[in-house]
Amino acid sequence: MFNLTPPYERSALVVAHPGHELRVYGWLEKARPRVFVLTDGSGRSQQSRVASTDRVLSDVGAKRGSIYARLTDVELYSAILDKNFTLFTDLADELGDAFARENIQFVAGDATEGYNPAHDACRLVLDAAVARVRRSSGMRIQNYDFTLIGRPDECAEETWRVARWLHLDDETFERKLQAAHNYSSLAAEVEAALSGAGSDGLRAHPDIASKSGLTRYETNDDTFRVECLRPIDSNGHLPRAFSEPPFYEHYGERMVAAGHYSRVLRYREHMIPLADALRFHVERDQ
């Protein structure tokens, strides 16, 4: 079981997009963390998802952080493509300052899965923020991630015993499902996750999903009753290295060919330099 005993740890949730909070709804209810969201979730639709997340946070009694829908997805992707890394180091500094100011002891955020560069960039910013606070003040912030595309109970054997696990009771699980179904702009994503497809994007592009190692998983009625927060090492490096191009790179190539994008965001050309810039920024700041 998840080890949360009163008084609850002062917690923060840091995600790339509105709606990611649904993956850890049970923990959200219990911890009522300060919630930081990098983008408005508008994607190519240019329709913000912020209002729906506002309702979720209001229902559970969680509050916005100082960074909340700061960027559009287009702005975030453009900054990575243009190697405007100052945007991300500034976000890491602001996030770290908020952690120190609010005495945050526990933080959870997006995992690196190679599906969406915004998710992976969020993890890099979060890790840099935690590393910066640890180095400058000695605060021992506990840093955890959770899956957005993989099974909710996906956890490496070596971290299984030290992960934080929450098994939702019937009432909490029903509220979680209801919150997910009420999030109308994520209807396709919710259905895909519940079916084991992982996401609507993976379901629509099974060939590149398979090529990237992101495959369907078995589900049952209780699959999303489990929430797993996994401890990670906040050292400013990419938490997961990809030997082959991740899904978002193959997907970007397809979108460029279709005329939707003008450039392909690539792991080695763009994401590794971003990770290096954040790590150097943290080390130089000491």
| Predicted confidence (pLDDT) per residue in 144-166, tens digit | 999 999 999 999 888 899 999 99
86 C-beta neighbours (distance < 10 Å), count: 11
Report the CATH number at residue 24.
3.40.50
Give the mean model confidence (pLDDT) for residues 124-140. Answer: 92
Q: Which of 50-64, 171-185, 227-241 has the lowest mean pLDDT?
A: 227-241
**Residue 140 has what pLDDT?**
87
Within-domain flag for 237: yes
Within-domain flag for 121: yes
* Structural domain boundaries enclosing 115: 11-281
Encoded tokens for 11? 């917690």
**Where does the pLDDT of residue 170 fall: very low under 50, low under 70, confident under 90, or very high at 90 and above?**
very high
Within-domain flag for 2: no
**Residue 158 has what pLDDT?**
87
**Residue 271 has what pLDDT?**
96
**Residue 240 has what pLDDT?**
63
**Residue 143 · residue 250 · CB < 8 Å:** no
Contacts with 255 (C-beta within 8 Å, 6 or more apart), sequence order: 261
Within-domain flag for 214: yes
Inform me whether the pLDDT recorded for 1 exceeds 70: no
Within-domain flag for 93: yes
Residue-wise pLDDT tens digits, 68-97 = 999 999 999 999 999 999 999 999 999 999
Q: Which of 2-11, 72-81, 203-212 has the lowest mean pLDDT?
A: 2-11
Within-domain flag for 286: no
Number of domains composing the chain: 1
